[in-house]
Chain A
Amino acid sequence: MKLYTVSTTRNGQVTNVNYTDVPANDFDSQLGVNYHLWYPVEIPEGTNSWFKGIVTSEVDNALLGWTPNADLERKQASITQERLLLIYNDSNQTLDNVRVFISDQQLTGSVAEVTPWKANLSPEIRTYSSFEILSTSPVNQFPANMYLKANFQGALPQPTPPLPSEMIVTNMQPFSWAVAAVRLYIVKDQEVPEDYCVISTETY
């Protein structure tokens, strides 16, 4: 398994801002939607290079802080950053179940969650109405060729309500892709100079 995030250009810089700040690439007249074109890139592991540092003003503006039992409104108010996660089966085997989840984090300062996306079958992520897995190659979707067309209604995609904190992809074909989102919530309690989360896959 391989995990990627996205860039606006092939082999370009990772896009480490919320996608509500990225203008649409074009308008799909057949579907009647705007869309973003994303290209897979490695998830950078340097501090503040994917998720940016959360500053005091953002902490102060969070409503009450995240808790596992917080209601939807409160969690939505404490969301601060959102990033696309591309899951790639880099083997020639069909995988029955691929679990993508946060395997470790501190739960202080901020909290990360993996939110599933499964083509158009998952209505929870409403801001992107659909994803199209495309490739510059007619024979494969290798990372060097794959790109993602993310369609959305309206001018820009809007923040989405939170979802369960893991994603399970079933019957994943060889060299195929799945899309998920990773979201960051503010806990609003103390300073954490180096917060972290570990995004892992588990196949079974």
Chain B
Amino acid sequence: MIHVWDGTEWNATKALKVWTGSAWNKTYKFKVRTSTAWIPVSTSDRDESVTVRWSVEAPTPPPPPPPVTHPVPDLDLLTLQEVEALLDPLNFTYSVTGYEVTSDNAKNNKVVVDSQNPAAGVLLAEGSNVVFKLYEFVQPTTTVPNIEGLLTGNADTAIVNANLVVGNPLGTEETYDTNLIGKVIVGSVFPAPGTTVDVGESVIYDYYIQKPFATVPPLVGQNENNVFTILEAANLTPGTRTVFNTTSASLDGQVKSQYPASGTQVQQDSLVNYEVYEHTLTVVPNLSGLTTQAANDLLQQNYLYPGTTNTEETTNQSLEGKVKSGSQVPAAGTTVNKDTDVDYVYYVPNQYTTMPNLIGLNSVTAFQTLSNAELVGVNITSYTRNSSQFNVVYNQEYAQGSQLPVGTLVDVYYYIEEIKFIAPDVRGITPGTQGTQIANTNFNWGSKTLADTSTENVNLIGKIATQSPTQGALVYVDPINYGLYIDGRPTVPNVIGMTETNAKNAITNAGLNWSVSYQNQTYNGQATAGTVASQAPSGGTRYASGSTVAIVVWNAYTPTTTTYTASVSIGWAGDIPWEWQASYRDTIGASSSITDGARRTTSQPFYVGRFDSTNEKQHTVSQFDWFAFQNWVKANKTNNAEFTVTAATLRVWANSGVGGNDNAKSLRVGSYPSDTSSSPSTMPESAINTRGITLPIASRGTYGYATANALLISDCFTAPNYPVVVYAPNTSIDNYIVNDSDIRWDITIQWTVTA
């Protein structure tokens, strides 16, 4: 028995099993280890430290000590310095709670009696506060009385009554106003009336006193420069200065009169008015006949200035540069202010002249007239062919009466005769060209105004034959008009289509010769024989007289024969349908006869060759309507011309999938020698024309072709036409075919046309 500790309790078990990796095994023995050395060593350090934390509050602090007290001292009427000296040693503080007004300056800023709290003698802890009030000194005041305008005695009484003091010294002011003398001057009181001032202050003021008088001194005859000095010495003041104008230079600056008069008693500083001579006038001199220089000098001597000077032209040279009589303003002898401007007029040489009339005058006379009028003529000429106007003035630059500066250049327009030149010879040259005949001359081309001149000289045609003006003539220059050479050669007549005779006559009549050649017609009706087919030169051509015109004349037409061929198909999908088709057979009888030829069918399918023991030697017959064939070909191919068949090929279809072995088949083509409009009821193979023509068919589902020989063409394509027969050469099954009526002739026809 073994006990195993499962972590909670011991469990009994019979045996322990060990898992070997693949199976449980219980045969092992177990041993118990008594040592603990095998237990794994801890991963912790060998030694350890643990930190523990907590908080500790402070112990309760000790109680404060009991306060120290002192009795409060009496502070009445003490200064702040005295209060501090008392309170500081006791560790008391203080504060001022307010102020009380007093008029006793000795109490100023001292403690108000009994205002302290706590009161004197009360026990108070150190550090406590003592409060109290302080006295505040305020000065008594009064109002300054209004003493302005009062006599000084009354003013002083009012000042004293107002608890004020009259100041010293007092100011004075002189006056001549007896109402003011001895009274206080308004605005001079200080402090000003109504002002609040401290009691006992001084009040000062100014008052009026009598002012002394002055005697007016004599001024008349004195130079005005002395007036101020004289009056100032007499305590007087220069008054209004009045001017008295005079033409006398010697009186200038002297006092003429004064007010008040000399010796009058007046107040000091009074104004003394006076009148002074001033030399401001002059008399205008007479300037007539003086030169401008002399006139201006005379004006200057008389304190005057030349004013506006105007000129006037004159043809009188003795007057040139001199003042015009009576032209001066102001007039001579007038009294005027000095420095006045005197206007006058003086003469100058003339600068303008009047344009005379020149029109209609001879040019020589006209230029003399201009010269007389102090003008200069300029030649402006124009050509004229009118002899009555030669050298006659017809225009002038300035109109008659125009005012022109002397010496002005005046254009004078007059005619002169136009120049003549020798006309050049322009005959024989082309108009417009600058040949040597007209180049470097004064002439130009005119126009074709003269009659033309006919010529057969082709070198002259289009060139000048006649001219105007005539060559070599001395004439005025005009455009050269002219007449031209024109073509004088005969015109070739158009003779095409004319008969030969008429053509020859027409050519001869035109002054020309003729030659004839002939030409065949290439087809009938191409032209009318004997008429002109062509000519050279053509009609309308200019041709020298006597030249030959070649004409070609049509010959009569010679007819020719032409052979044509065409293709026509008959039967299956052909131009003409079969008239009928039928299939026949030869039956093998008891005697081996195979000649009965009974008809099997008249509609498809058609049979050829052996099919079975009964139906062998079968053949197929196809016939067309001869007249339908003839009519169709003539209407559609030959234009009704007769034709012959020159070649024919029979095409036969072998149905696919029907017939004998699918090998090459060798059939035969022949004819049945009877033209019937419908299939006969019997047709034994023995009745067939064998024409030795084979029809090879390669295999079922293809066409076989057989080319007709002359015999078969004669059989089938000459009237009466025989039906064509397709048959087998023997009874071999290989030659058996079935046909769905697809049998056709492809033929070639031939015909001729003569025209």
| Chain A interface residues toward B at CB < 8 A | 1-3, 43, 45-56, 59-60, 90-93, 103, 109-110, 112, 137-139, 174-175, 182, 184, 186-203
Among B38, B47, B53, B60, contact of A195 (Cβ-Cβ < 8 Å): B53
Q: Assess the B55–A47 pair: CB atoms within 8 A.
A: yes
Q: List 24 A-B contacts (CB under 8 A).
A: A2-B44, A2-B48, A3-B48, A46-B53, A48-B54, A54-B55, A56-B59, A59-B58, A59-B60, A60-B60, A90-B42, A92-B37, A92-B39, A92-B42, A109-B56, A110-B56, A137-B5, A139-B5, A175-B36, A191-B58, A192-B55, A199-B52, A201-B49, A202-B47
Q: Which residues from B are CB-within-8-Å of A43?
A: 50, 52
Q: Which residues from A are CB-within-8-Å of B37?
A: 92
Q: Which residues from B are CB-within-8-Å of A1?
A: 44-48
- Name B58's closest neighbour in chain A (CB-CB): A191
Report the minimum CB–CB distance from B61 to chain A (whole Å). 10
Task: Please report the C-alpha to C-alpha distance between residue A191 and residue B49 in the assembled complex, in whole angstroms.
Answer: 26
Given known A-B contacts A174-B36, A175-B39, A193 and B44 have beta carbons under 8 A apart? no
A-B pairs, top 10 by smallest CB distance, nearest first, are: A191-B58, A109-B56, A51-B54, A53-B55, A47-B53, A90-B42, A200-B49, A59-B59, A192-B56, A56-B57
Supply 20 further A-B pairs (C-beta < 8 A) apart from A2-B44, A189-B59: A2-B48, A46-B53, A48-B53, A52-B54, A54-B54, A56-B58, A90-B42, A91-B42, A112-B52, A175-B39, A182-B52, A184-B54, A188-B59, A190-B59, A191-B56, A196-B51, A199-B51, A200-B48, A203-B46, A203-B47
The interface bits of chain B over 108-141 (1 if a CB of A lies within 8 angstroms of the residue's CB, else 0) are 0000000000000000000000000000000000
Given known A-B contacts A1-B46, A190-B58, A202-B47, A197 and B41 have beta carbons under 8 A apart? no
Task: Please report the C-alpha to C-alpha distance between residue A51 and residue B42 in the assembled complex, in whole angstroms.
Answer: 29
Q: Assess the B39–A59 pair: CB atoms within 8 A.
A: no
Q: Which residues from B are CB-within-8-Å of A186?
A: 56
Given known A-B contacts A90-B42, A91-B42, A138-B5, A197 and B48 have beta carbons under 8 A apart? no
| Chain B contact residue count (CB 8 A cutoff) | 25
Report the minimum CB–CB distance from A202 to chain B (whole Å). 6
Q: Which residues from B are CB-within-8-Å of A54?
A: 54-57
Q: Assess the A196–B53 pair: CB atoms within 8 A.
A: yes
Q: Which residues from B are CB-within-8-Å of A92?
A: 36-42
Residues 439-472 (chain B) with a chain A CB within 8 angstroms: none
Report the minimum CB–CB distance from A20 to chain B (whole Å). 19
- Name A61's closest neighbour in chain B (CB-CB): B59
Residues 31-82 (chain B) with a chain A CB within 8 angstroms: 36-42, 44-60
Q: Which residues from B are CB-within-8-Å of A53?
A: 54-57
Report the minimum CB–CB distance from B620 to chain A (whole Å). 128
Q: Which residues from B are CB-within-8-Å of A201?
A: 47-49
Q: Assess the A60–B55 pair: CB atoms within 8 A.
A: no
Q: Assess the A91–B46 pair: CB atoms within 8 A.
A: yes
Q: Assess the B53–A194 pair: CB atoms within 8 A.
A: yes
Report the minimum CB–CB distance from B632 to chain A (whole Å). 134
Q: Which residues from A are CB-within-8-Å of B56?
A: 53-54, 59, 109-110, 186-187, 191-192, 195
Report the minimum CB–CB distance from B545 to chain A (whole Å). 159
Report the minimum CB–CB distance from B461 to chain A (whole Å). 148
Task: Please report the C-alpha to C-alpha distance between residue A170 and residue B52 in the assembled complex, in whole angstroms.
Answer: 25
Q: Assess the B54–A60 pair: CB atoms within 8 A.
A: no
Q: Which residues from B are CB-within-8-Å of A137?
A: 5
- Name A46's closest neighbour in chain B (CB-CB): B53
Task: Please report the C-alpha to C-alpha distance between residue A165 and residue B51 in the assembled complex, in whole angstroms.
Answer: 16
Q: Assess the B39–A174 pair: CB atoms within 8 A.
A: yes
Task: Please report the C-alpha to C-alpha distance between residue A59 and residue B40 in the assembled complex, in whole angstroms.
Answer: 49
- Name A1's closest neighbour in chain B (CB-CB): B48
- Name A91's closest neighbour in chain B (CB-CB): B42
Q: Assess the A198–B58 pair: CB atoms within 8 A.
A: no
Q: Which residues from B are CB-within-8-Å of A91?
A: 41-42, 46
